[in-house]
Structure 1
Amino acid sequence: MARFLANRLVAFLPVLLLVLLVVFAVSRLIPGDPAVTLLGPGATQGQIDALRAQLHLDEPAWRQFFSYLGGVLRGDLGSSLKTGAPVLTEIAGRLPATIELAVLAAILSVAVGVPVGVLSAVRANTAVDHAVRLVSLTGVSTPAFLLALVLQIVFGIVLGWLPISGRTSPYYFADAVTGSAVLDALLARDWESAWDAASHLILPVLVLAAFLAATLSRFVRDSMLEAMREDYVRTARAKGLPERSVIFTHALRNALLPAVTVLGLKFAELLGGAILTETVFAWPGVGRYMFDAIRNRDYPVVQGATLVFALLFMLVTLLVDVVQGWLDPRIRGRLG
């Protein structure tokens, strides 16, 4: 296992270098000039040229890239062109909000998607199965931003039950300890702030969880149907084992292997792909930070956020391989 982990970590290096190169090139293709964006339309050409020189935007692209690469190797992701704040510090301050959103969405997806997928497989080709497949297909097909707007209108505006933007209300007083607003309020025994933070989480978590739960249920259903046709399941039934034991002890364990892969990859996508959800709900995470940076042509922020997302994606895929090895002895042998 140690050798496998070392090989994977070494293999990450050229991938990260390629990510840096591609993001650096693509960010320069964003229409507009950062200096003009920062100074506004009333700036003179002299002011624009002076700011470009100050930000080193007048240097050749290759020199800018190697300068940025050297900073990354030193642990310096640069400073925001708009605010001047260190990008790494800004991302570190916003990352807990994104992780909180993604983790809760993943937990909800597993809690809903796995049981529903098992139920659909056990009741295959019945009315229950058809209903589950229809709902899951709807969940997979519905754009996240559309679902977010519908939930905001229904639960935030029409019914007035839940807040539609932000992470907390102005009267939230708990100090930041864990990075999770809900946990911080619970640790401070501030129940009003805890409910306030939890209520802000409900709608964005539902939006992120809807697609993942629908995808997970479809994979679990297909995997369960395949597992229930295997010889070991027929043998377990022939021995007279209860159907509950056959399903949950013998079939589900093997059916979870592809589901773990899907969950891990989709969770990694949640970390980096929650940009629209965070923007719609004004959630102060890395996704919204990156969206604002793209709009402002803030190259260091775009590059830094993409690098962090790439690192998180690689670490999650590595964790998926380890979990698969724990679930399947055959894979564990190859990892060793």
Structure 2
Amino acid sequence: MTLYLLRRLFLLAFVFLGLSLLAFSLAYLFPGDVLQNFTGLTTMSTEHAAELQAEYRLDSGYLQQYIAYLQRIFNGNWGLSFSSNQPVLHEIQLLLPATLELAAYALLMSFFIGIPLGILAAIKPEGIISRIISALAVAGFSIPVFWWALLLIMLFSLGLGWLPTAGRVGVLYEIPHVTGFMLLDILLSNSQHQSEALIDALRHLLLPTLVLATFPTTVMIRFTRDSMLDVWEQSYIKTARAKGLNRAQVLYRHGLRNALLPVIRQIGLQFSTLITLAMITEVIFSWPGLGRWLIDSIYQRNYPAIQAGLLVISTLVISVNMLTEILHTLFNPLARKR
């Protein structure tokens, strides 16, 4: 197991090296001055430009420039945003919790809805319930995210007026920024309207979470169903049923534990999908997260923000995928043996 972890950590370091090289090369691939793409400064004096060129080692070779770039990344000097003239790292720290909050709740929703429905569909694969669940999974898998979001807004927001259309919380509630996670900040606040603000934040969170969780839920349903059907044909399941255990006992004691092992790996894969789909969802619902900020930066040609956003999102996705791979190996003896 130790050798496996060392191999994974080496692979993780190698991937991060390639990612940092890509982010570094973007400053040369983007149009405009390289120094401006690195620093985010659009106007600077001749003396200041000379100092920055020496600091960024632009008068040296690419290797020295790359080493200086890594030093700036670790020191937190990620440049300034073209649009706001604020440090890019500061903006990311403010916006990243909103994206993580939305993605985490969507992943939990897909986990707690998709796995039970997948198990239910696998109990009687030729039954009417299984066919209905499979049909809903195919429909949810095929629906475009933006169309599904607009449809839910028209129904629950514009038609029925039950849920808000945008934002994280109503303008009537002033929640101090502590962690960046809205629900947690509301619970940590000492406002006399804490319960009302919490309900309002949950109402704002419901629609974007439902939209974002639709695609991974359908994947969880289909993957859990196939995994259960595969485990159900194994010899130890047939032996357990031959010993007199009923269907529920076999399902809980033997089938469910082994069928859910491959699902752990799917959590990491679906998290990367959630981060990608969150960009579209945040734009539609005006959710102040990292995805919306990155898309706005692309429209504004905010090159330092694009460079930093790519680095952060890719690092987040790679780290979560690697963590789920390690957890899958810890829980699966056969994977450890391989």
Task: Pick the TM interval, shorter chain.
Answer: 0.7 to 0.9
Compute the TM-score of the two structures, normalised by the length of structure 1: 0.85
Checking the alignment, whether the CA contact within 8 Å between 2:118 and 2:223 is kept in structure 1 is: yes
Residue in 1 that maps onto 2:210: 206
In the alignment, is residue 93 of structure 1 matched against residue 97 of structure 2? no
Checking the alignment, whether the CA contact within 8 Å between 1:77 and 1:87 is kept in structure 2 is: yes
User: Any gaps of 5 or more consecutive residues in structure 2?
Assistant: 35-41
Give the letter for the 1:312 counterpart: L
When residues 299 and 175 of structure 1 are mapped into structure 2, their CA distance, relative to the original with a 3 A threshold, is same
Shift of 1:26: 5.9
When residues 24 and 278 of structure 1 are mapped into structure 2, their CA distance, relative to the original with a 3 A threshold, is farther
The correspondence of residues 179-194 of structure 1 with structure 2, limited to 5 A, is: 179-188=180-189, 190-194=194-198
The correspondence of residues 271-286 of structure 1 with structure 2, limited to 5 A, is: 271-286=275-290
Residue in 2 that maps onto 1:288: 292
Tell me how far apart the structure 2 counterparts of residues 74 and 179 of structure 1 sit (CA, whole Å).
22
Shift of 1:333: 4.5
In the alignment, is residue 109 of structure 1 matched against residue 110 of structure 2? yes
What is the SS of the residue equivalent to 2:260?
helix
Tell me how far apart the structure 2 counterparts of residues 124 and 256 of structure 1 sit (CA, whole Å).
18
Q: What do the CA deviations read for 1:190-249 (whole angstroms, capped 9, x no partner)?
A: 001001111110011001111000001000000100100000111111111121121122
Q: What do the CA deviations read for 1:38-65 (whole angstroms, capped 9, x no partner)?
A: xxxxxxxxxx9979x9798xx8996986
In the alignment, is residue 302 of structure 1 matched against residue 303 of structure 2? no
Shift of 1:326: 3.2
When residues 254 and 25 of structure 1 are mapped into structure 2, their CA distance, relative to the original with a 3 A threshold, is same
Tell me how far apart the structure 2 counterparts of residues 168 and 104 of structure 1 sit (CA, whole Å).
16
In the alignment, is residue 229 of structure 1 matched against residue 216 of structure 2? no
C-alpha RMSD of the superposition: 2.9
Checking the alignment, whether the CA contact within 8 Å between 1:109 and 1:212 is kept in structure 2 is: yes
Checking the alignment, whether the CA contact within 8 Å between 1:16 and 1:307 is kept in structure 2 is: no
Residue in 2 that maps onto 1:40: none
Residue in 2 that maps onto 1:324: 328
The correspondence of residues 126-145 of structure 1 with structure 2, limited to 5 A, is: 126-145=127-146
Checking the alignment, whether the CA contact within 8 Å between 1:166 and 1:283 is kept in structure 2 is: yes
Residue in 1 that maps onto 2:245: 241
Residue in 1 that maps onto 2:18: 18
Q: Which moved more, 1:311-320 or 1:199-208?
A: 311-320
Residue in 1 that maps onto 2:317: 313
Tell me how far apart the structure 1 counterparts of residues 300 and 70 of structure 2 sit (CA, whole Å).
22
Give the letter for the 2:10 counterpart: V
Shift of 1:129: 1.3
What is the SS of the residue equivalent to 1:274?
helix
When residues 178 and 150 of structure 1 are mapped into structure 2, their CA distance, relative to the original with a 3 A threshold, is same
The correspondence of residues 60-99 of structure 1 with structure 2, limited to 5 A, is: 68-99=69-100
In the alignment, is residue 168 of structure 1 matched against residue 169 of structure 2? yes
In the alignment, is residue 263 of structure 1 matched against residue 267 of structure 2? yes
Checking the alignment, whether the CA contact within 8 Å between 2:26 and 2:307 is kept in structure 1 is: no
What is the SS of the residue equivalent to 2:264?
helix
Residue in 1 that maps onto 2:38: none
Checking the alignment, whether the CA contact within 8 Å between 1:275 and 1:288 is kept in structure 2 is: yes
Compute the TM-score of the two structures, normalised by the length of structure 2: 0.85
**Count of aligned positions:** 320
Shift of 1:265: 1.1
Checking the alignment, whether the CA contact within 8 Å between 1:269 and 1:313 is kept in structure 2 is: no
Q: What do the CA deviations read for 1:251-295 (whole angstroms, capped 9, x no partner)?
A: 121111222211221113323441111111111111111111111
Give the letter for the 1:108 counterpart: M
Tell me how far apart the structure 1 counterparts of residues 252 and 10 of structure 2 sit (CA, whole Å).
38
Q: What do the CA deviations read for 1:60-110 (whole angstroms, capped 9, x no partner)?
A: 996986764442243432221222211111111111111110111011101
What is the SS of the residue equivalent to 2:163?
coil
Checking the alignment, whether the CA contact within 8 Å between 1:172 and 1:196 is kept in structure 2 is: no
Checking the alignment, whether the CA contact within 8 Å between 2:208 and 2:281 is kept in structure 1 is: yes
In the alignment, is residue 4 of structure 1 matched against residue 4 of structure 2? yes
Tell me how far apart the structure 1 counterparts of residues 240 and 269 of structure 2 sit (CA, whole Å).
32
Tell me how far apart the structure 2 counterparts of residues 121 and 89 of structure 1 sit (CA, whole Å).
48
